Amino acid sequence: MQIVFIHGAGCTADVWDAQRPGFADATFYALPGHGRPGAPDSIGAFADALLADLSGDSILIGHSMGGAIALECALRGDSRVRALVMLSSGAKLRVGPAIFSALESDFEAASAAVPRYFFAEPTTGRMEQATRAMRAVGQAQTIRDFRACDAFDRIEQLGRVAVPLLALVGDKDVMTPPKFSLALADRVPEGQARILEGAGHLAMVERPDETNAALHAFVDQLHS
């Protein structure tokens, strides 16, 4: 099975740089509007694009909005989707009005300020990397991303997820707190949750070794 990493809102596939060495054969998928043509404005539209590009049986690993996209793909019953990892994600992803106001009124300032919520320890280097990514995606698509997240709600359908699911989250994630992942594990028949200590929303950046170990353990479990 191929492993497909799916980045989140206002990000690019570069957010997975710390995972590339440990998953050399994986696909690090660039969503439309994020370094490739397209302007999707819903989780469903992103899922359409991903499913069109899947080449075979896949384990989908999605961060935040990417996790919602992975979940949407699984709920469609596509037999190629064999397992899910939802990292710092949830079945409902409401976004505060203040974020939209900031992104719409002064994108340059917002792109420098919003990333502070992505990290338990917002160092200058991490903040600058996240800001560069958001600016590369651009104002219009970043807003579309967050609007797509805000409209997403699949809580009532979680019982229909028919594949194994790992919900992975940092204990200091303020954007998608651990309760979101615990709800996934509770409602998905083959769901499980794991909490990473000392990690914020971009857990794969802050705690790459722990994230990679959890991902490898889940993949190995699928093959056992």
Count of residues for the chain? 224
For the chain, which domains are there? Answer: 2-223 (3.40.50.1820)
Residues with Cβ within 8 Å of residue 154, at least 6 apart in sequence: 68, 71, 72, 75, 91, 92
Q: What pLDDT is recorded for position 224?
A: 75
Q: What pLDDT is recorded for position 42?
A: 98
CB–CB of 81/6 below 8 Å?
Answer: no
Average pLDDT for 81-91: 98
CB–CB of 124/21 below 8 Å?
Answer: no
| Percent over 90 (pLDDT), the chain | 99
Burial 46-80 (b: 16+ CB within 10 A, else e): bbbbbbeebeeebbbbbbbbbbbbbbbbbbeeeee
Q: What pLDDT is recorded for position 117?
A: 94
Average pLDDT for 187-202: 98
Residues with Cβ within 8 Å of residue 101, at least 6 apart in sequence: none
Give the residue among 220, 217, 166 at the shortest CA–CA distance from 195. 166
Q: What pLDDT is recorded for position 19?
A: 98
pLDDT in tens, 122-131: 999 999 999 9
pLDDT in tens, 47-72: 999 999 999 999 999 999 999 999 99
pLDDT in tens, 130-167: 999 999 999 999 999 999 999 999 999 999 999 999 99
Q: What pLDDT is recorded for position 56?
A: 95
Sign of CA dihedral 195, 8, 89, 5: negative
Q: How far apart are CA 98 and CA 110, in angstroms?
A: 10
Mean of per-residue pLDDT scores for the chain: 97
pLDDT in tens, 29-48: 999 999 999 999 999 999 99
Structure tokens at 27: 């696909």
Q: How far apart are CA 3 and CA 22, in angstroms?
A: 12
Q: How far apart are CA 154 and CA 114, in angstroms?
A: 26
Structure tokens at 172: 């200091």
pLDDT > 90? residue 223: no
